[in-house]
Amino acid sequence: MNELLAVDATGVTKTFGAVRAVADISVRVAAGEVYGVLGPNGAGKTTFLRMLFGLIRPDSGTIRVLGKTWDEHGVGVLDGVGGFIESPRFYPYLTGRQNLEGLALLDGGTRPGLLEDVLDLVEMSERADQKVGGYSYGMRQRLGVAASLLREPRLLVLDEPANGLDPAGIRDMRALVKRLAGSGLTVLLSSHDMDEVEEICDNVTIMKRGAVAFHGTISKLRTMAPDPGHLLSTTDDDRALALARQHPALLVVRDPDAALVVTGPQPDVAAYVSTLVRDGIDLLAFNQTQTPLEALFFMLTDDTTHQTLDRPVELTQAAR
Over residues 80-139, the pLDDT tens digits come to 999 999 889 999 999 999 999 999 999 888 899 999 999 999 999 999 999 999 999 989
Specify whether 236 is located in the same domain as 136. Answer: no
* pLDDT above 70: residue 311: no
For residues 285 and 231, the answer to whether their CB atoms sit within 8 Å is yes
Q: What is the CATH number of the domain that holds 268?
A: 3.30.70
Does any domain span residue 63? yes
Does any domain span residue 319? no
Does any domain span residue 312? no
Left if phi > 0, otherwise alpha if psi is -120 to 50, otherwise beta: which for 135? Answer: beta
Specify whether 50 is located in the same domain as 118. Answer: yes
Does any domain span residue 296? no
pLDDT tens, residue by residue, 191-228: 888 877 888 888 999 999 999 988 888 888 877 777 77
Point out the least confidently predicted range of 80-84, 167-171, 297-301.
297-301
Compute the average pLDDT of residues 282-303. Answer: 74
Compute the average pLDDT of residues 76-80. Answer: 92
Specify whether 148 is located in the same domain as 46. Answer: yes
In the prediction, which pLDDT does 193 show?
Answer: 81
- Say what percent of the chain tops pLDDT 70: 91
Specify whether 269 is located in the same domain as 246. Answer: yes
Q: What is the CATH number of the domain that holds 187?
A: 3.40.50.300
Specify whether 198 is located in the same domain as 283. Answer: no
* pLDDT above 50: residue 309: no
Q: What's the CA gap between 56 and 88, in Å, rounded?
A: 18
Could you tell me the residue range of the domain that residue 284 belongs to? 229-290
Does any domain span residue 54? yes
Closest CA to 161 of 80, 54, 88, 216: 88
Specify whether 57 is located in the same domain as 156. Answer: yes
Specify whether 123 is located in the same domain as 241. Answer: no
* pLDDT above 80: residue 66: yes
Count: domains in the chain: 2
